[in-house]
Amino acid sequence: MKNGNIDRRDGFDDAAALLDGLLEPALDVFSALVAADTTFPPGSGYAGFADLVEGLFVDLGYDFRRVTVPESLWHVPGGPASGDRINVIGEPAAQSWMQDEERAALGLYYHVDTVPVAPGWTRDPFRLTREGECLYGLGAADMKGTIAATWLALAAAKKAGIALAYSPQLYFCTDEEGGLYPGVRYLAEQGLLPPHLLNFNGVAAPRIWGGSFGSFSLLVRITGVTSHGSSASGINAIEAALPMMNALVAEKANVAAITSAMPAPPDAEGPLRPVLSLSAAHGGTCGGQIPAAFEVTVSRRYALEEDFDTLRDGLEKLIRDAVPAREGLGLSIDLIGHLTPTADADGPHWPRWQAALSKGFGYAPESFAKWAGASASDFGYVQRTGLTQEALLSGLGGPGRNGHGPDEHTTISDLTALARAILAYLARDFSTGMIPEQTSSKIKGEPN
């Protein structure tokens, strides 16, 4: 094996042979990631997670910098978010094994937050539980398992000393799970992302990403007047909210009647449709007291063809019209989360990423299909900056994995398959004729 120079020929096959032997350390990494509480809301664990990922990846040859989203961009008084929104960028260190020659940057993107623990878990959500092929834990599929898969791929690449096609940059970002100002949005707007990105917020399936819906959430607060439960002098905030909630439930059918031309998943029954839901409600303290405050979170998923400002204005009008006018009764509406739709994210790097996915997972070329999702992504913000319209998607989610639900899990075989795909895409000797950068400038030292 030759080391430390651009004439190295050890490549993908050498590194792939090491994956099985590095699986147990990768599972230790996975365990540490799951054990770190990054639930959003509130997203108060980002500083600790930054410490963690820096410690996990430093020995693989990375230097790090932290970029914090200014509080003025995400803070809503009384809103669900709290704590610093710390994003971590990992870049190959000057003297690392990855810096044997100059090459184009490749961004590897992950959101680090998870949804809160849902009722119904039968295992500890903050402990990686291995049962046969299955790996259970909060964020196992969405999307901490993909960080472990990347660690596995990079560890094998380093140990084999392979030559790389790209310089892999790491982006650990905040507030994808419904935040008001996701970290990747801020990085894109600050010009801190490369135009070539791998996004791991997808499914373990032969999918060509056709985009995704947007989503936004409104926090509706109704305030009344507290009194003794037997008194008629109070103003019951929960009861005052009932007409509004009934109006929103009635509106669900109108929203569901809308269809999108965005390509639906292969197993979908009909076209993709928007969704309106009452996703959270809080109020009251005890049976002996008239509740003076009630909060409802209203969520709307919307298609690329819909206009956010029009939707928000219409939804706020429906809410205001339904809350009875009464002295002493208050109403406020705040936007607490927003992800814009993502358009078709195809681009020139897709054919090679498809080949890498086929190498990793064993997908047949004809099994790939382009489809969008009613789930939302923070990549729409990246597209809006014009930095790039392309994003290569994969991940460890999918049907039966219970993402966002109890007993979320992935599998060992998919974890290693994703690591193999990442490794193939990084390896300079893999599908060399499909590297777009070579069409204008041949990588130095690449065999004909």
Q: Which of 143, 169, 189, 220 is nearest to 397 (CA)?
A: 143
pLDDT number for residue 231? 74
Q: How would you write 363-374 as a 3-class SS string?
A: CCHHHCEEEEEE
Inter-residue contact 384 to 112 (CB < 8 Å)? no
Confidence of residue 321 (pLDDT cuts 50, 70, 90): very high
Long-range contacts made by residues 94-99, C-beta under 8 angstroms, separation at least 24?
94/63, 96/61, 96/62, 97/4, 97/61, 97/158, 97/161, 98/61, 98/164, 98/167, 98/168, 99/167
pLDDT at 9: 47
Q: Looking at per-residue confidence, does 102 or 52 come out higher?
A: 52
Is pLDDT above 70 for 441? Answer: no
Cα dihedral: 352, 88, 20, 426 (round 10): 20
pLDDT score at 2: 37
Is residue 422 within 8 A of residue 356, CB to CB? The reply is yes
**What's the pLDDT band for 443 if we cut at 50, 70, 90?**
very low
Euclidean distance between CA atoms 185 and 206, whole angstroms: 27
Cα distances (angstroms) measured from residue 341 to each of 159, 216, 327, 345:
40, 10, 40, 11
How open is the CA angle 72-187-213, to the nearest 5 degrees?
90
Q: Looking at residue 249, what is its pLDDT?
A: 98
pLDDT for residue 385? 95
| Closest to 248 in 3D by CA, of 223, 270, 217 | 217
Q: What pLDDT was estimated at residue 3? A: 38
* Percent of residues, the chain, with pLDDT higher than 70: 96
Q: What is the mean pLDDT of residues 425-446?
A: 76
- Cα gap 274→255, rounded to integer Å: 6
Q: Are strands 207-223 and 369-376 parallel, antiparallel or unpaired?
A: parallel
pLDDT at 233: 78
- Evaluate whether 45 touches 37 at the Cβ level (below 8 Å): yes
Tens-place pLDDT, residues 307-316:
999 999 999 9
Q: Please name the residues in contact with 162: beta carbons below 8 A apart, sequence gap of 6 or more.
A: 8, 10, 11, 12, 14, 15, 426, 427, 428, 429
Helix-, strand-, coil-residue percentages of the chain, each rounded to 5: 30, 25, 45
Q: What is the pLDDT of residue 439?
A: 60
Taking the alpha carbons at both ends of the chain, their separation in whole angstroms is 21
Q: Note the pLDDT of residue 10.
A: 63
Mean pLDDT of the residues in the chain: 93
Helix (H, G, I), strand (E, B) or coil at 218: strand
Kindly report, residue by residue over 6-39, the tens digit of the pLDDT.
334 469 999 999 999 999 999 999 999 999 999 9
At 223-253, the pLDDT tens digits run 999 888 777 778 999 999 999 999 999 999 9
Closest CA to 355 of 437, 429, 265, 430: 430
Question: Using CA atoms, how far apart are residues 331 and 121, in angstroms rounded to an integer?
Answer: 36
**201-225 pLDDT, tens digit each:** 999 999 999 999 999 999 999 999 9
- Does 444 have pLDDT greater than 90? no
Using alpha carbons only, what angle is made at residue 279 by residues 274 and 281, rounded to the nearest 5 degrees?
150
Q: What integer pLDDT is reported at residue 399 of this predicted model? A: 86
Q: Are 175 and 76 in contact (CB under 8 A)?
A: no
Residue 243 and residue 319 in contact, taking contact as beta carbons nearer than 8 Å: no
Q: Would the pLDDT of 356 be above 90?
A: yes
What is the dotted CATH code of the domain comprising 12-204+394-439?
3.40.630.10
| Residue 189 amino acid letter | E
According to the model, what pLDDT value does residue 442 have? 46
Q: Where are the beta strands (DSSP E) in 69-181?
A: 86-92, 105-111, 129-131, 134-136, 167-173
Q: Please report which confidence band the pLDDT of residue 447 belongs to, taking 50, 70 and 90 as the band edges.
A: very low
Q: Which one, of 26, 58, 52, 54, lies nearest residue 37 by Cα?
A: 52
All structural domains of the chain with their residue ranges: 12-204+394-439, 214-337
C-alpha span between 342 and 378 (Å, rounded): 8
Range 362-370 contact pairs with CB under 8 angstroms and sequence separation of 24 or more: 362/417, 363/206, 364/206, 367/206, 368/206, 368/207, 368/208, 369/206, 369/207, 369/208, 369/266, 370/207, 370/208, 370/209, 370/210, 370/263, 370/344, 370/346
Tokens of 88: 């971590």
Q: For the structural domain made of 214-337, what CATH number should be given?
A: 3.30.70.360
Using alpha carbons, select from 207, 300, 213 the residue that is nearest to residue 262: 213
